[in-house]
Structure 1
Amino acid sequence: MQNIRSAVLAIAGLALIGLAAAFAVSLTLVIGAFLTVTLAARMLMLRTKQAPVYAKARRQEDMRVWNDGKGTIIDL
């Protein structure tokens, strides 16, 4: 009877250790996934946004505008 009780306690202890290990691994995966998503979001948000570049001709005579059939060309 003592041997059976020891075996049951050993199996219960191993099961408890297995559950704790599975919980730790799953928690690690959840935290890792959260950090990965957070890092990806920050990388995408920090991308430089394209801003229009304004240019002016020094004199109106210096500016030439023509259309070559593919699009308007403005030569400053």
Structure 2
Amino acid sequence: MTTFEHKELKGITIKNIMVTIISTASIVMSVMTTYFELKGDIRDVKLTQDAQNRVNEIRLKIIEGQVALLQREVDQIKNKKNEH
């Protein structure tokens, strides 16, 4: 046990400390990668939802216009019926 990695500091080897540090760094990198992927996915879903909301608003305006037109036509038919 003459190598640097096997020297002990109060019962803890330098090798164990290095393994712990590398493992911790690996876990942190995995968590950060997952976080940024999820953040990107949430952004994509938000953009898609915003686009869908705009499409739905346009469709609703078209339907409201069609309902108003149909209501005028119904009123005209009623007026013609009442005149006869």
TM over 0.5: yes
Q: How high is the sequence identity, in percent, across the aligned residues?
A: 10
Could you tell me which residue of structure 1 aligns to residue 42 of structure 2?
29
Q: Which runs of 4+ in 1 moved over 4 A?
A: 51-56
Map Cα deviations across residues 30-52 of structure 1 (whole Å, 9 max, x no partner): 11111111101101112322464
Give the C-alpha shift of residue 2 in structure 1: 0.9
Correspondent of 1:15 among 20, 24, 28: 28
Higher percent of residues as helix: 2
Larger RCO (alpha carbons 8 Å, 6+ apart): 1
Give the C-alpha shift of residue 14 in structure 1: 0.3
Matches within 5 A, 1:1-76: 1-47=14-60, 48=63, 49-50=65-66, 52=69, 53=72, 55=76, 75-76=79-80
Give the C-alpha shift of residue 75 in structure 1: 2.6
**Alignment-mate amino acid for residue 25 of structure 2:** A
Give unpaired runs (5+ residues) of structure 2: 1-13
Give the C-alpha shift of residue 25 in structure 1: 1.0
